[in-house]
């Protein structure tokens, strides 16, 4: 097979286009069947939003696999391996469970059982971990039962990690797309750089996964018009795990010439073999940290570890003062730093420049994270050139005659609105300063509640 860059690009574009075009009709279908759950106390969005975006993403997966099977450079993947069919079988099962959950909200234990069954279906068809690379020991062959248990565990953990991070508009799809891009670079280097054709299925899975996420993101970025729901988050989590499982145990150290030189050099050279097990952790790292902090926080407060709250990492970013979009971009930044840093270190593990660049970018990320705590103020002559949050306010002169008539900072004087305020609905709670309207991107504040039930059940 020749260099299949154009074939991968075509497959990616087809998966993205099909996902993008299907999302609009899927949104209308979700509204028609009532797949729009009511807003919960922990939700960030302000209006009921349809789910079932995973239907469009599953269409993109099927389209990508069909197109790839008819391409010259990628058709051999389907002839030499049964892994694409195994992926499609497991994805169809997990997608069906997700669709039912988006509409009827099935029990968590039933979803967990479905995830394990989907992973077992892939194992039966040959998509399993054959052996593990152990530092200092070498490659350790696994028994069928050990390979099955490890495969099921990796699939379940990755699926729930992606599902757990799906808390802001565009967050899960973007983070998975970043992890898939890094994984694609790694697996493509194994295939074309070292001539290991066993890495071809994982490279194809990563390309299709990028297309699915890129096609869905325009509809899911803030303010989101549709959510992927469990049908989408569990699906992309399974595809991400399938790529890691496919390439693990298929890398031949002899073909990569890893054991030339001293033992220390061989240990450094073995790093590319460990990356398939590490890259899925790039998407799990942030959700896992959030999960541990949530369990500690809820237990410390005397609550159940499974009790929902508004203390997750994305909620904390909003409370610090970041906007919705900037919170998502910050988490994108950290995901890209971990994923591409791992890939870069696997390529040049002996170079200190990789470590220095990662440290420098980490420092930049910390500055961006704490930026709202140190909001600069522009000079008065530049007030018209900067956003309102950076403008310097003019001092208010207090008078001795009527100091009580002056409005407090951040409020609006009643006379500025006229007498029509008295006719407003008294049951409508006021909106706190700094909290935008329905589609604004600001920090968390007092949440407005709908006084009209018809408005709460509207499509937007």
Q: What is the pLDDT of residues 96-114, one digit of tens each?
A: 999 999 998 888 889 999 9
* Contacts of 141 by beta carbon, 8 Å cutoff, 6+ apart: 130, 131
Q: Is the bond preceding residue 181 a cis peptide, omega within 30 degrees?
A: no
Q: Choose between 460 and 93: higher pLDDT.
A: 93
Distances (CA, A) of 22 to 92, 97, 172, 389: 17, 20, 19, 39
CA 146, CA 235: separation in Å to the nearest integer? Answer: 24
* Range of 74-83, 84-93, 189-198 with top mean pLDDT: 84-93
Q: Choose between 217 and 410: higher pLDDT.
A: 217
The predicted structure's pLDDT at residue 308? 60
- Using a 10 angstrom Cβ sphere, with 0-12 exposed, 13-18 middle and 19 or more buried, the burial of residue 58 is buried
| Least confident segment among 185-199, 272-286, 326-340, 354-368 | 272-286
Neighbour count for residue 360 (Cβ, 10 Å): 10
Q: What is the mean pLDDT of residues 176-204?
A: 87
Residue 277 pLDDT greater than 70, yes or no: no
31-74 pLDDT, tens digit per residue, is 999 888 766 555 555 677 898 999 999 999 999 999 999 998 89
The whole-model pTM stands at: 0.75
Q: What is the mean pLDDT of residues 437-447?
A: 35
| Least confident segment among 70-74, 359-363, 375-379 | 375-379
Which of 326, 324, 290, 322 lies closest to 309 in space, CA to CA? 290
The predicted structure's pLDDT at residue 32? 92
* Helix (H), strand (E) at residue 109: helix 108-124
Locate 117 and state its tokens.
């069954």
Three-state DSSP at 138 gives strand
Do 366 and 291 meet the contact criterion of CB atoms below 8 Å apart? no
130-172 pLDDT, tens digit per residue, is 877 666 666 778 888 999 999 999 899 889 888 878 878 898 9
User: CA-based diameter of the chain, in Å?
Assistant: 89
Terminal Cα-to-Cα distance of the chain (whole angstroms): 50
Q: What is the mean pLDDT of residues 264-273?
A: 54
Do 74 and 250 meet the contact criterion of CB atoms below 8 Å apart? no
């Amino acid at each position: 097979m020749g260099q299949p860059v154009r074939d991968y690009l075509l497959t990616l574009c087809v998966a993205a286009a099909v996902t993008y075009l299907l999302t609009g009709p899927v949104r209308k279908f979700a509204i028609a069947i009532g797949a729009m759950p009511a807003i919960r106390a922990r939700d960030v969005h302000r209006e009921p939003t349809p789910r079932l975006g995973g239907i469009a993403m599953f269409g993109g997966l099927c389209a990508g696999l069909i197109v790839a099977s008819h391409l010259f450079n990628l058709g051999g993947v389907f002839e030499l391996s049964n892994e694409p069919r195994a992926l499609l079988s497991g994805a169809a099962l997990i997608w069906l469970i997700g669709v039912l959950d988006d509409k009827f909200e099935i029990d968590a234990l039933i979803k967990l059982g479905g995830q394990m069954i989907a992973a077992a279906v892939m194992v039966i068809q040959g998509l399993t971990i054959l052996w593990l690379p152990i530092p200092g020991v070498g490659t350790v062959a696994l028994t069928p039962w050990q390979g099955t248990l490890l495969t099921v565990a990796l699939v379940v953990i990755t699926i729930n990690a992606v599902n757990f991070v799906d808390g802001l508009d565009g967050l899960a799809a973007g983070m998975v797309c970043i992890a898939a891009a890094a994984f694609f670079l790694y697996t493509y280097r194994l295939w074309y750089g070292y001539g290991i054709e066993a890495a071809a299925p994982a490279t194809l899975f990563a390309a299709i996964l990028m297309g699915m996420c890129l096609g869905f993101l325009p509809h899911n970025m803030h303010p989101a018009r549709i959510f992927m729901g469990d049908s989408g988050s569990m699906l992309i989590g399974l595809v991400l795990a399938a790529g890691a499982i496919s390439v693990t145990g298929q890398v031949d150290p002899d073909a990569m010439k890893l054991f030339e030189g001293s033992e220390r050099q061989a240990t450094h050279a073995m790093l590319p073999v460990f990356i398939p097990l590490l890259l899925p952790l790039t998407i799990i790292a942030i959700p896992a940290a959030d999960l541990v902090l949530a369990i500690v926080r809820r237990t410390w407060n005397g609550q159940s570890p499974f009790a929902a709250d508004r203390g997750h990492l994305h909620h904390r970013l909003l409370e610090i003062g970041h906007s919705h979009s900037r919170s998502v971009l910050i988490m994108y930044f950290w995901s890209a730093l971990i994923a591409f840093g791992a890939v870069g270190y696997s390529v040049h593990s002996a170079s200190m420049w990789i470590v220095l660049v990662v440290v420098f970018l980490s420092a930049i990320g910390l500055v961006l994270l704490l930026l709202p705590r140190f909001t600069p103020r522009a000079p008065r002559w530049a007030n018209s050139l900067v956003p309102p949050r950076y403008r310097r306010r003019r001092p208010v002169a207090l008078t001795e005659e009527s100091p009580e008539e002056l409005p407090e900072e951040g409020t609006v004087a009643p006379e500025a609105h006229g007498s029509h305020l008295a006719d407003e609905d008294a049951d409508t709670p006021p909106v706190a300063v700094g909290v935008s309207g329905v589609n604004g991107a600001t920090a968390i504040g007092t949440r407005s509640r709908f006084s009209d039930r018809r408005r709460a059940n509207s499509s937007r």
